Amino acid sequence: SQGVTTEPLARIPGGVTDEQAAALPIAGITALRSLELLGVTEGQRLVVMGATGGVGGYTVQMAWARGVHVIATVRGDVDEARRLGAEEVYDAEAVDVFDALRTSHPDGVEAVLDLVNGSGLIRRDAGILKSGGGLVSTRYAAEEGWFAERQITAFNIATLTNPLSSPRGLTKVARMLAEGTITARIHSIIQPDQIGETLEKLRTGGLHGKVVIRF
C-alpha cells in the first residue's frame, strides 16, 4: 500500500483507562523526547520553564523518577509543580525567574526545557546554563548557532518529527503511566455538549491538564 503512512498505535496496558490513554500521547512523548535529547542523569539539575502544562508536568514527573533535581518555573501554580516532583519552584508572577535562577545557581544548571519563551526571551536561558549544557525548545525558538557559540547545545523539537511518535514511544509512555511514574493529568472528562465552554476555559488559561471528551 504505497503512500500510506501508518498511524502510531500502541496497546493500552492493563490498569490504564481509555481516558488516561487518550490524554497521554503527544505531551507524554514530547516530554520523553526532551529528556532523551538533554540526557540529564541522577543528581543533575533540569529547569522546566512552564512546568505545569501538559508537556511540563510529564517532564517533571519523568525527571524526578530518574533522580534529577527538577527546578520549575510556573505562573501562579507553585503547589502543583511541587506535587509533580519539582524541588525548587519559581513563580513568574512574583519574580523575574531568570534573575532568581542565576542567584540560586550561580554556576549554572545542566539543562533547560523551555516550553514558554519565544525567540527573544529564550536567549536569557544562556545565562542560567553552564558551559556544555543543553536546551530544548518546543516552540522552535532556539537559534542553534547562537547557543553553540556559548557552548550550549540547543534543540528545537516538533511533535510531528519526534521519532518517539511511534508504537515504541507510545508503549514506553503508557508503561510509565501503568507503573505510576507519571499520572494522567486529566482536568476533566466532559460530554460533547460541554465542548464550547471548555474551549473557552482553555483559551483563557483556566485549565491545567488535558480535557478528554467522552462520546
Question: What does the block give as the cell for 146?
Answer: 547562537
Q: Are residues 111 and 197 part of one domain? A: no
Task: Give yes or no for residue 5 having a pLDDT over 50.
Answer: no
CATH of the domain at 114: 3.40.50.720
Contact by Cβ (8 Å): 212, 185: no
Model confidence, pTM? 0.76
The x, y and z cell numbers of residue 11, run together, are 496497546
Q: Does residue 12 or residue 176 have the better pLDDT?
A: 176
User: Total structural domains in the chain?
Assistant: 2
Is residue 25 domain-resident? yes
**Domain co-membership, 26 together with 105:** yes
CA–CA separation, 133 and 126 (whole Å):
9
- 187 neighbors 211 (Cβ within 8 angstroms): yes
Rounded to an integer, the average pLDDT of 122-150 is 97
**6 — pLDDT class (breaks 50, 70, 90):** very low
- For the chain, what is the mean pLDDT? 83
Higher pLDDT, 106 or 193: 106
The reported pLDDT for the residue numbered 12 is: 60
What average pLDDT does this structure show over 137-165?
Answer: 89
For residues 194 and 157, membership in a common domain is answered with no
pLDDT of residue 70: 98
Nearest to 121 by CA among 95, 96, 86: 96
Same domain, 57 and 137: yes
C-alpha distance from residue 15 to each of 96, 151, 178, 198 (Å): 42, 44, 6, 27
Does some domain include residue 4? no
Query: Residue 170: its pLDDT value, please?
Result: 78
pLDDT band at 29 (very low <50, low <70, confident <90, very high): confident
Evaluate if residue 68 carries a pLDDT over 80: yes
